[in-house]
A and B are shown apart, each in its own frame.
Chain A
């Protein structure tokens, strides 16, 4: 199946700094990418949807100035957590779909464990 690579897998940062997480589709063109956040023992919460070349659409309650999403190409989307605080510590997962299989499969990255100290 198609591969989505997410990097880094783990990151520890100091409070007040910014962290960038990359999500790449390695063997297909991802027309749409999704960013999720997962709290311990909970389901995935959709944060935002991004289409290549356009601004991301954020879900209600997600601060777009804090969670900056860029989808500059058909194979790369980035999530930047700006001025991170301990409450931003979480597991972040990206997902990508292609134009041809958008309703039959979404491919997920390995996830990024962010710890803000």
Chain B
């Protein structure tokens, strides 16, 4: 079935380090892909998205490129900050109206100064 697999955490980095969180997906058709971020005790916020192959989503220094050939949507940031500490979820939505997002298990990022 349709699914999202992302690297397990926690990921622990020092401030200004380079971040990569891997995400791959299995889906029928051509889904839209998302990264959401969840800060402690809060709901989810959309970080970035890509709706078709080769699209690059970017926001707040984070980037991810929709790679159809490798069915991947890896999240990257060149220089992380302490304030980036959160749980990151990769997700997809199928191109069928009324269907829910399918989430990966989430990756906890902890950045220390």
Q: Which residue of B lies closest to A109 (CB)?
A: B43
A44 proximal to B (CB < 8 A): yes
Chief secondary structure at chain B's binding surface: loop
Question: Which chain A residues (23-44) contact chain B, with CB distance < 8 Å?
Answer: 31-32, 34, 41-44
Count B interface residues, CB 8 Å: 24
Q: How large is the interface on A (under 10, 10 to 19, 20 to 34, 35 or more residues)?
A: 20 to 34
A75 proximal to B (CB < 8 A): no
- Asked if residues A49 and B98 are in contact (CB atoms below 8 Å), the reply is yes
Question: Which chain B residues (18-39) contact chain A, with CB distance < 8 Å?
Answer: 32, 34, 36
In the docked arrangement, what's the CA distance between A72 and B59, Å? 35
- Within the complex, the shortest CB–CB distance from A38 to chain B, in Å, comes to 9
In the docked arrangement, what's the CA distance between A21 and B19, Å? 37
B41 contacts across to A, CB distance below 8 A: 111, 113
- Within the complex, the shortest CB–CB distance from A91 to chain B, in Å, comes to 9
Per-residue contact bits, chain B 33-51, to A (CB 8 Å; 1 contact, 0 not) = 0101000011111100101
B104 contacts across to A, CB distance below 8 A: 43
- Asked if residues A106 and B98 are in contact (CB atoms below 8 Å), the reply is no
- Asked if residues A105 and B100 are in contact (CB atoms below 8 Å), the reply is no
Contact of A103 among B44, B51, B106 (CB under 8 A): B51
In the docked arrangement, what's the CA distance between A108 and B38, Å? 11
B103 contacts across to A, CB distance below 8 A: 43-44
Contact of A6 among B32, B43, B93, B100 (CB under 8 A): B43
A95 contacts across to B, CB distance below 8 A: 44, 100-101
Chain A residues within 8 Å of B, Cβ to Cβ: 1, 6, 31-32, 34, 41-44, 46, 49, 51, 93, 95, 99, 102-111, 113
Chain B residues within 8 Å of A, Cβ to Cβ: 32, 34, 36, 41-46, 49, 51, 89, 93, 95, 97-101, 103-106, 108
The 5 A-B residue pairs whose C-beta atoms are closest, nearest first, are A108-B44, A111-B43, A43-B105, A108-B43, A110-B43
